[in-house]
């Protein structure tokens, strides 16, 4: 059975995934001052980070409309699987869900399911990869959905950011946390809750210490054994490689992938940010 995987643009696909032809990207939009950036393959993330740094106004994002998702569903052949960033962080999931209702009315014989990744960036990447493997093995649609839901429930996402100002402006971080990290130059090790919200795990005085503490969190989490780790980085490949080295030395992952952030992940992570999911 043929299938397609629809992802919003917070899903930081690897080069291999993008080349597979299995995925359709539905872009979000980023507004920096008067400038509009569509988060598609034409977006230059370095230009985006420069624009954000120079703009005194708070930048913001807009999720895809239900019509944009519906257009992607219509373009897909076979079974359709949809992966969005956490429903608690964006309206992208709601738009995808609304479009799904319309699609089912028009195509009652088609299989379509919308997954709330309860994550973002590297977390979405892993969910999309899981679906591709299950569906590619020929599993029935219902079984792919059930196993992917179970995978999402067991997944963990951690991240360390160089700059937390965008998260604070977007209401994802308390003002107190942002002030403390800015004044003391503390690096927070953050992560997702099972529901897809953001929480603080610990803190460090440098990026290397923060990545070491992030690794310690993975070591203590027995769920990581035999799983795939995906590391998404924002213009800092060397930090991603450093984390991969720590993970190989201290953890028992079966595979470690590295990918680059696209526009939405870059918007929140800023230059130097690292997101890890497994």
- pLDDT tens track for 133-180: 999 999 999 999 999 999 999 999 999 988 766 666 655 555 545 545
Closest by CA position to 50, among listed 238, 273, 270:
270
pLDDT value of residue 71: 98
User: Hey, which residues does 25 pair with through a beta bridge?
Assistant: 7
Low-confidence ranges of the chain (pLDDT < 70): 164-185
pLDDT value of residue 157: 98
pLDDT value of residue 232: 98
- CA–CA separation, 128 and 22 (whole Å): 10
pLDDT value of residue 183: 44
Q: How many CB atoms lie within 10 A of CB 227?
A: 21
In angstroms, the Cα distances linking 11 to 123, 231, 259 are: 8, 12, 10
User: Hey, which residues does 30 pair with through a beta bridge?
Assistant: 37, 61
User: How do beta strands 29-32 and 35-38 pair?
Assistant: antiparallel
pLDDT value of residue 171: 57
pLDDT value of residue 130: 98
User: How do beta strands 35-38 and 60-62 pair?
Assistant: unpaired
pLDDT value of residue 30: 97
pTM of the model: 0.92
- CA–CA separation, 169 and 180 (whole Å): 15
Report the greatest alpha carbon distance in the chain.
Answer: 58
Long-range contacts of residues 56-59, Cβ cutoff 8 Å, at least 24 apart: 57/32, 57/33, 58/169, 59/30, 59/31, 59/32, 59/33, 59/166, 59/169, 59/267
pLDDT value of residue 51: 93
pLDDT value of residue 138: 97
pLDDT value of residue 56: 80
User: How do beta strands 3-8 and 79-84 pair?
Assistant: parallel
Residue 24 · residue 42 · CB < 8 Å: no
């Amino acid at each position: 059975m043929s299938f397609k995987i629809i992802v919003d643009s917070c899903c930081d696909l690897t080069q291999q995934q993008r080349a597979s032809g299995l995925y359709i990207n539905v872009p979000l939009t980023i507004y920096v001052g008067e400038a509009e950036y569509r988060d598609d393959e034409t977006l230059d993330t370095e230009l985006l980070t420069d624009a954000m740094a120079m703009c005194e106004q708070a930048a913001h994002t807009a999720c895809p409309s239900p019509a944009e998702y519906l257009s992607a569903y219509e373009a897909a052949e076979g079974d359709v699987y949809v992966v969005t960033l956490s429903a608690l962080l964006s309206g992208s999931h709601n738009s995808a869900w609304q479009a799904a209702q319309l699609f089912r009315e028009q195509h009652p014989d088609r299989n379509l399911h919308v997954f709330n990744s309860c994550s973002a960036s590297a977390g979405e990447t892993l969910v999309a990869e899981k679906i591709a493997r299950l569906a590619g093995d020929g599993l029935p649609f219902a079984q792919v959905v059930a196993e992917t839901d179970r995978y999402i429930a067991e997944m963990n996402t951690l991240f360390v950011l160089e700059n937390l100002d965008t998260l604070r402006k977007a209401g994802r971080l308390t003002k107190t946390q942002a002030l403390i990290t800015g004044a003391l130059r503390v690096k927070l090790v953050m992560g997702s809750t099972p529901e897809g919200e953001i929480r603080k795990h610990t803190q460090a005085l440098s990026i290397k210490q923060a990545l070491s503490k992030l690794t310690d969190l993975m070591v203590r989490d027995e769920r990581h054994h035999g799983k795939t780790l995906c590391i998404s980085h924002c213009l800092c490949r060397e930090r991603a490689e450093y984390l991969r080295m720590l993970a190989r030395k201290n953890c028992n992952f079966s595979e470690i992938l590295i990918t680059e952030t696209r526009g939405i992940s870059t918007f929140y992570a800023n230059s130097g940010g690292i997101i890890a999911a497994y």
